[in-house]
A = this chain, B = another copy of it.
Amino acid sequence: MLAIGVNGYGTIGKRVADAINAQPDMRIVGVTKTSPDHGASLAVDRGFPLYTPADRVDAFESNDIPISGTIDDLLAASDLVVDATPGGVGEQYLERYHEHDVPFILQGAEPDSAVETSFSAIANFDAAIGAKSARVVSCNTTGLSRTISLLDDAFGLTGARVSLIRRGGDPDQADRGPINDVLPDPVTVPSHHGPDLATVLPDITVHTMAYKVPTTLMHTHAVNLTFDTTPTPNEIRSVLDPERRITLLPADQGIRGIASIAEIGRDSGRPRGDIWETCIWDESIAVEGEDVFFTQAIHQESIVVPENIDAIRAMMKTASASESIERTDEHLGVGQWPGTDSAERVLSTANK
């Protein structure tokens, strides 16, 4: 059983920790926090040993939150560490990961140059096999890489243009905007998303324009693709529908917007109402001349969770791509909608 440390127990870290704990072949050896806040209490409640920088131990102990050791102790005890520290912070830990000679996974806000390979399970699992470091690409890039890599394989991509209508911040990021505004962000074209996609799909050019809008729920992508052989809408469906990490939202279910998807996530018994799938409105799949169009939605807080699990198995060489993806999805409940007992299983408080 792989012993995994999670450095940074925030939006992504707490989800990855639960997902690791739900897998039969890996366990959480500990998680880190720098402040004794409600996230620290949550980690303790869930039975995850808590680690912190040496100079922060006192702050936790004076709040009666038990600390198992320093971050260096955690790195020494881990077979692999998942870095889920805030964007830009992960890079500051590189030296210590290398000192401890512990394989590490960074998240999408860190630079591709800091790791051996960027990673997205469906797009390039094999590139991370045996790697000592990898970077799971960002939520938007993960969502795009799934659909675009599958459709490229099937029909030969010749052009791609995506408008990203981005959520302004996560639900508990009270200092994020905008309110009643739409921000081209960046104003320049392309946004970083197209070039970021090339870190996992190097042969593909995707032109991306990005906008921040007043929602906290999900990102929305207006996707336009062209191919060597223009597929029909049903040929597109036949490629995407079998994938558990892609959900085609049926036309007759009244799923009007991203809030409807979030509501399904909450109804489904999933941990935190998470939506790990790239969600595509089935009715939006259209072919006009040579142009293929569809609209997809991406849950920014959770879509990278299964990819982090797969990156662990790729780097530790414990499963092939198809084996890992199937195992991850099965134990998380990816692709299972209402009726799953996923929350109960994934949010089990019993750490192994």
Q: Assess whether A215 is interfacial by the CB under 8 Å rule.
A: yes
Residues of B contacting A283 in the complex (Cβ-Cβ under 8 angstroms): 187-188
Q: Assess whether A150 is interfacial by the CB under 8 Å rule.
A: no
* Complex: chain B residue closest to A184, CB-CB: B295
Q: Assess whether A68 is interfacial by the CB under 8 Å rule.
A: no
| Bound CA span A79–B222, Å | 46
- Given contacts A184-B281, A188-B283, A286-B189, whether A222 and B163 have CB atoms under 8 Å apart is yes
Residues of B contacting A185 in the complex (Cβ-Cβ under 8 angstroms): 256
* Complex: chain B residue closest to A296, CB-CB: B184
Q: Assess whether A12 is interfacial by the CB under 8 Å rule.
A: no
Residues of B contacting A294 in the complex (Cβ-Cβ under 8 angstroms): 189
The answer, among B251, B257, B286, for a CB contact under 8 Å with A181, is B257
Which residues 39-66 of A have a CB within 8 angstroms of B? none
Q: Assess whether A293 is interfacial by the CB under 8 Å rule.
A: yes
Residues of B contacting A161 in the complex (Cβ-Cβ under 8 angstroms): 161, 224, 291
Interface string of A239-276 (1 = CB under 8 A from B): 00000000000010000111100000000000000000
* Complex: chain B residue closest to A283, CB-CB: B187
The answer, among B180, B189, B209, B258, for a CB contact under 8 Å with A182, is B258
| Bound CA span A215–B183, Å | 11
| Bound CA span A104–B294, Å | 39
A259 touches B178 (CB 8 A): yes
Q: Assess whether A190 is interfacial by the CB under 8 Å rule.
A: yes
Q: Assess whether A70 is interfacial by the CB under 8 Å rule.
A: no
Residues of B contacting A189 in the complex (Cβ-Cβ under 8 angstroms): 284, 286, 288, 293-295
* Complex: chain B residue closest to A167, CB-CB: B182
A187 touches B295 (CB 8 A): yes
Q: Assess whether A97 is interfacial by the CB under 8 Å rule.
A: no
- Given contacts A163-B222, A283-B188, whether A257 and B183 have CB atoms under 8 Å apart is yes
* Complex: chain B residue closest to A178, CB-CB: B257
A284 touches B187 (CB 8 A): yes
**How many residues of chain A are within 8 Å of chain B by beta carbon?**
45
Instruction: Report the minimal beta-carbon distance from A107 to chain B, rounded to whole angstroms.
Output: 24
Q: Assess whether A308 is interfacial by the CB under 8 Å rule.
A: no
Q: Assess whether A315 is interfacial by the CB under 8 Å rule.
A: no
Instruction: Report the minimal beta-carbon distance from A139 to chain B, rounded to whole angstroms.
Output: 15
Q: Assess whether A156 is interfacial by the CB under 8 Å rule.
A: no
| Bound CA span A218–B180, Å | 10
The 7 closest A-B pairs by CB, nearest first: A163-B163, A183-B257, A189-B286, A163-B222, A181-B259, A189-B293, A213-B213
* Apart from A189-B286, A189-B294, A213-B214, 11 more pairs, CB < 8 Å: A163-B163, A163-B209, A165-B182, A165-B213, A178-B257, A180-B216, A184-B220, A187-B283, A189-B295, A207-B293, A209-B295
A-B contacts, 22 of them at CB < 8 A, read A161-B224, A163-B222, A165-B182, A180-B215, A181-B215, A181-B258, A181-B259, A182-B215, A182-B257, A182-B297, A183-B256, A183-B257, A184-B281, A188-B284, A189-B295, A190-B286, A190-B288, A207-B291, A209-B224, A209-B284, A209-B295, A214-B215
